[in-house]
Chains A and B, each alone.
Chain A
Amino acid sequence: MALSIRLPLARFTLEVETRLEGASVAVMGRSGSGKTSLLEVLAGLRRGARGRVEVGGRVLLDSDAGVDVPPEARRMGYVPQDALLFPHLTVEQNVRYGVRGAKHSRADEAVSLLELSPLLRRYPATLSGGEKQRVALARALATDPALLLLDEPLAALDVALKERVLPYLLRVRDEAKVPMLYVTHQLGEARVLAREALLLDEGRVRAVGPAAEVLGPAVRGLLAAEGEAEENILEGVLERPEGGGLRLRVAEGLSLWVPDAPELAAGARAAYSVPSEDILLSTGPLTGVSARNVLAGTLARVEPAAAGEDAAYVDVGDVRWVVRLTTASVRELGVAPGARVYLAVKSAACRRLR
């Protein structure tokens, strides 16, 4: 994928000049940094973009040569943030919408990969947020796109924690093997999904390269507070300590007990998520608790998350955790930013993403 794009926007000019391997790219940056505009340029939905776009060896835009392939001929699988399903069509009709024009249909594969069989006869208005996202993903996948363009597929506000789309995205990446470019606010998700990352700031590329390098701890300053996940996503190497059990080694000095499963081998890379409401926060060292993982960290800040609920952000080494607490319990604990706190995480609360 080779991009050389100039697009004047209201506050600044989007300027992206880069070359990417393109298998799985996370595009990150604050709100209004040009991420969505970049996707729209790639999809051919933005007039006025100048420069050159080459995806998979195909030139989609070359304004000097007068080339601007129309969106219907680009084979870009666009998944907008709010899913934008066709409300007058059933799930099945939505998924198959683009199949007619596609050379090779992957509709059946998409339906099974995203587990849509039970939903096929329903209409979009009857679906939950997470289900809508899966249908939108399947609709794009069914046309056998050269590249999936995902605009914050995990950010929709009404998507409940338990039905997150992330595991499905991992399956699309690893099983369907479709290249994807993926806009997100959430560092944890980007770390799990992306092989490469592109960091945008005011329309300019601030960093680009392998995800492991670009998405290090230094990146946090460039992301808004909303970049913090609702869910803690941890990636690392599995260990089988003597005496049994399974541990995920996330970083030096940070390992977690995770549920044991015989198919998981020591030395393999794995990613787990821990829902923010499944973590206990304590002001004193925890002893004699049943939770197997107790981590010491520093409270970064507390902010309202929902009615009667706060989100506490806790740094454990380089990893920032988010913990959901009721506003009342935050008051009773009387903690302030900078305070030393302890997190207790049951191993059963760690769900494997891959």
Chain B
Amino acid sequence: MEGTAGLVFFTVAVATVATLLILAPGVAVAYALARWDGPGKGVVETVLALPMVLPPTAVGLVLLELLAANGPLGRVLDAWGVEVVFTPKAVVLASAVMAFPLLVRSARSGFEEVDPRLVAVARTLGDSRARAFFRVTLPLAWRGVLVGALLAFSRALGEFGATVLVAGNIPGRTQTLSLAIFHRTQLGEDAEALRLAGVAALLAFVAVYATEVVTRRRGRRVRA
């Protein structure tokens, strides 16, 4: 039972850190996509959506190649004495990469709902671009951002394919709930695997329910 608590704690911690890590860049990218309409926008959008449609193991493989000690990023990190592959950092990174498109997608539709003319009015009232963003754009888009963060968190909770490649499946070190379920099944401990699946279902329920609540309140909100 203590093992389960540790697993749940680690899984939730990884998903939380991964979500917090992508929050600022995700919001920035979402805002840029909502407002910018230049050449190549479609290509950028497609590249950003790729982790959602590629096999997660393919994403994991790319991350592994990049971060391995002799990979292009791995060499730089190695010089700084940072080790990522097969550590908890790799779990966070894999979850973050897989969750990023979900955050961007939802936050972006939140930003797209904000009338840019409201921002223009804010500027005539003395706001710089940055101030208008924090006083008008973000407060009006925050539900989209929050829903995106919750979706990203839910996605990170259940991440498997990318994680297993880049972080391995090391009990007590890189093993999350979803990895543990796989591990127990491999060992033939189906009852234990099923119990863990139940725990995972409970976690997922809470995260998705929170998303639903936020989304429903958005529908009720009166608009000017």
Contacts and interface: CB of A to CB of B under 8 A. Distances in A.
Interface of A: 43-45, 70-74, 76-78, 80, 84-88, 97-98, 100-102, 123-126, 132, 139-140, 143
Given A74-B124, A80-B121, 16 more contacts: A43-B120, A44-B124, A45-B123, A70-B123, A73-B126, A76-B124, A78-B121, A78-B124, A80-B117, A88-B140, A97-B122, A97-B125, A98-B126, A101-B126, A102-B126, A125-B224
Contacts of A87: 140, 222-224
Contacts of A139: 125
The interface residues of chain A, by DSSP majority, are classed as loop
Contacts of A71: 120, 123-124
B126 A45 contact: no
Contacts of B135: 97
B6 interface: no
Contacts of B120: 43, 45, 71, 78
Contacts of A88: 139-140
Of B117, B121, B135, B222, chain A has the most CB atoms within 10 Å of the CB of B121
Interface in B80-125: 115, 117-118, 120-125
A124 B125 contact: no
Closest 10 CB pairs of A and B: A101-B126, A98-B125, A87-B224, A125-B222, A124-B224, A71-B123, A78-B124, A98-B126, A125-B224, A45-B120
A101 B124 contact: no
Interface residues of B, number: 19
A84 B115 contact: yes
A140 B122 CA distance: 10
Contact of B124 (A43, A85, A100): A43
Contacts of A101: 125-127
Nearest to A84: B121
B123 A72 contact: yes
A168 B140 CA distance: 30
Contacts of A45: 120, 123-124
Contacts of A125: 222-224
B128 interface: yes
B83 to A, nearest CB: 46
A126 to B, nearest CB: 7
Contacts of B126: 72-73, 98, 100-102, 143
Nearest to A126: B222
Contacts of B124: 43-45, 71-72, 74, 76-78, 98, 140
A242 B140 CA distance: 63
B136 interface: yes
B139 A72 contact: no
Interface in B179-201: none
A77 B125 CA distance: 7
Given A123-B222, A124-B224, A126-B222, A84 B117 contact: yes
A230 B124 CA distance: 31
A76 B124 CA distance: 6
14 contacts: A45-B120, A71-B120, A71-B123, A72-B123, A72-B126, A77-B124, A78-B124, A80-B117, A88-B140, A97-B125, A98-B125, A101-B127, A102-B126, A125-B224
A80 B116 CA distance: 13
Contacts of B140: 87-88
